[in-house]
Amino acid sequence: MLIGILQTGHALPEVRDKTGDFDAMFERLLGGRDFTFRTWDVVDMDFPNSVEAADGWLITGSKHGAYEDHPFIPPLEGFIRSAYAKRVPMVGVCFGHQIIAQAMGGKVEKFHNGFGLGRQTYTYGTEEIALNAWHQDQVITAPDMATTVITNGFCQHAGLLYDDRIFTMQPHPEFDATMIQGLIDIRGYGVGDEQRLAYAQSNIDKPTDSARVAEDIGDFFLMARASADKAAAEAEAQAAKGTSSGAGA
């Protein structure tokens, strides 16, 4: 299964030699599955020719806001809506989570209560999980067709499921301690919240459930692709039946 990575930003240059860029982080996260990967740098206006150029799509994080005026955002929103309409599976993380929600009718804003930084705990179905985060922007209003599946007291819509077509989340299962440390060291000055930065630093070496969530992302891609293929086969069979009935009339 070919996963197309739509890269909407780049990892910090200061840590990229250790972590790789965002696409490399996701390739590691989803390693061990029968997936191959190809990256399109959509932030630089490098878009696929079709939503069917890959078997599934993954939209990365970004330093940009989904609500900001950047050339790549309108075509990316159109791509998202087209992928949903054609049932091509899609996963979004952080900015990817936000831009998908916005494209599908939700609302994204800079959260009035500041940043979520470092290791955070979330309710995920009936479980409690821990994942790394680094964000102030949030999905404030979820799209009508989306169901909230990950949440906590700071971020109500931390994970959304759009039927069997799209799965998104605000936290970063692809971020390890090296990436969070880099963000603290390099971008921490812009946060303006020493208490939350101290919290992120003190929890940096605690384990997260990234591997657990990676399994769910991989399973979602396979399930959603199978569901899309089944729907396409049923539609083709129905069309053939209709053609056959028409020919016999």
How would DSSP label each residue in 31-66?
A: TTSS-EEEEE-GGGT---S-TTSSSEEEE---SS-T
DSSP, collapsed to helix, strand or coil, labels residue 120 as: strand
Compute the average pLDDT of residues 154-176. Answer: 98
Q: Would you call 122 helix, strand, or coil by DSSP?
A: strand
- Rounded to whole angstroms, how far apart are CA atoms 9 and 14? 15
pLDDT number for residue 241: 82
Pairwise CA distance, residues 14 & 140, whole Å:
32
Tokens for 234, please give them: 């049923």
Domain range enclosing 96: 2-247
What pLDDT, in 10s, does the model give residues 50-73? 999 999 999 999 999 999 999 999
pLDDT tens-digit series, residues 192-247: 789 999 999 999 999 999 999 999 999 999 999 999 999 999 988 888 887 766 66
Report the C-alpha gap between 219 and 225 in whole angstroms.
Answer: 10
Tell me the average pLDDT of the chain: 95
Question: What is the per-residue pLDDT across 10-56, written as a single tens digit (0 to 9) for each?
Answer: 999 999 999 999 999 999 999 989 999 999 999 999 999 999 999 99
CATH number at residue 142: 3.40.50.880
User: Both tokens of residue 108?
Assistant: 């994204």
Find the angle CA(134)-CA(26)-CA(43) to the nearest 5 degrees: 70
**Which amino acid makes up residue 20?**
G
CB 96 within 8 Å of CB 139:
no
Domain count, the chain: 1
pTM as predicted: 0.94
Q: What is the pLDDT of residues 211-223, one digit of tens each?
A: 999 999 999 999 9
Q: Which residues, 6 or more positions from 38, have their beta carbon under 8 angstroms from its beta carbon?
A: 2, 3, 4, 5, 54
Amino acid at position 64, single letter: H
Number of other CB atoms surrounding residue 187 within 10 Å: 13
3-class secondary structure for 163-177?
Answer: CCCEEEECCECCCCH
> Residue 169's Cα: distance from chain center in Å?
6
For 39-170, where are the alpha helices, taking DSSP H only? Answer: 73-85, 95-103
